[in-house]
Every structure is written in C-alpha cells, then in structure tokens.
C-alpha cells in the first residue's frame, strides 16, 4: 500500500479524508452512544428523581407539624380568627390579695353573670366553711366564661 501524500491528492479529497478523523466519526457515519454514555444518562436521571423525592419529603416533613396543629385547634366562628380562639380552663388558681372577699371573687368569676352561682361553686371547690379569706391563700375559682 502506498502512502497518501498531500501532493498526490486534491484538496477536496484530502479534506474528505481528514474530516471523519477530526470529528471522531469514520466514514461520515455517526456512532451510536456507547453503554457508558447511556448508563451516565440513566444515572443523571435517577439522581434527579431521588433528589426530587428527598426535597418533596423535606417540605412535607417541615409543613406536616403545622398542619397537624391547625387541625387540633377549634374551628373559627363567624368573624373570629382561629388563632384567637382558645379554650379557657374550667378552674383557675388565684392568690388572695388584700381587699379580696368571697363575694368580689364570685363577681369576678361570674364575669357579669349571677355571682351567687359562682359563690356556691367557690365554697364547694375550696371546702370553705365561712366566707373569710386570708391574704396569700390560694383558692380555686370557677371560670364561668367558657
């Protein structure tokens, strides 16, 4: 076989011979992607899918406690914000201060209602035998607001 020299070929023939070698193809045909290229594409697609699942799980994990809290609160009533609605405890501990009387505590507990009902309840809750209160004593008061 004789060597091809630039002088024995025309410039068009020389260019046609050199182009497939320079472009990585032989004979003007494109090669099919090899196994490693296809595996690389699948690896990238799998990585993107896994990262997407992890990101969605992180968002759901961060939001889920707030959703659970929101469902535990009572529903808002007309025009009242759900965060403002709170359930008051049935009993309140109160420390007696100078000037407090059983009647004044009953009026405060009744919140505009009949203080006699609150007075009976306070006496019953605290096992009071008289209406005398001592400064510094802690008494249980009914919370009739709920």
DSSP symbol at 31: P
What structural domains does the chain harbor?
7-74 (no CATH), 88-142 (3.10.350.10)
DSSP symbol at 26: B
Summary mean pLDDT of the chain: 74
**Alpha carbon distances (Å) from 73 to 60, 76, 111:** 20, 9, 25
> 109: exposed, middle or buried (C-beta count within 10 Å: 0-12, 13-18, 19+)?
buried
Widest CA span of the chain, in angstroms? 130
User: Distance between terminal CA atoms of the chain?
Assistant: 107
Q: Each residue of 49-67: pLDDT tens digit?
A: 889 988 888 887 777 776 6
Q: What is the pTM of this model?
A: 0.38
CA-derived radius of gyration, the chain: 43
Residue 100 has pLDDT above 60, yes or no: yes
Q: What is the DSSP string of 74-89?
A: PPPPTT--GGG--PPP
**Torsion 115-121-123-126 (CA) sign:** negative
Q: Could you tell me if 94 and 105 are in contact, meaning their C-beta atoms sit under 8 angstroms apart? A: yes
pLDDT of residue 136: 92
């Amino acid at each position: 076989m004789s060597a091809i020299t630039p002088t024995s070929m025309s410039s068009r023939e020389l260019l046609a011979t050199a182009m497939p070698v320079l472009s990585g193809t032989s004979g003007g045909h494109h090669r099919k992607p090899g196994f490693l290229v296809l595996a690389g594409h699948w690896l990238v697609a799998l990585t993107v899918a896994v990262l997407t699942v992890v990101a969605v799980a992180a968002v759901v994990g961060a939001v889920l406690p707030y959703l659970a809290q929101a469902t535990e609160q009572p529903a808002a009533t007309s025009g009242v914000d759900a965060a403002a609605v709170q359930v008051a405890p049935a009993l309140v501990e109160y420390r007696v201060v100078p000037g407090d009387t059983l009647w004044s505590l009953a009026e405060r507990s009744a919140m505009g209602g009949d203080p006699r009902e609150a007075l009976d309840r306070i006496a019953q809750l605290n096992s009071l035998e008289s209406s005398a209160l001592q400064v510094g004593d802690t008494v249980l008061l009914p919370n009739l607001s709920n």
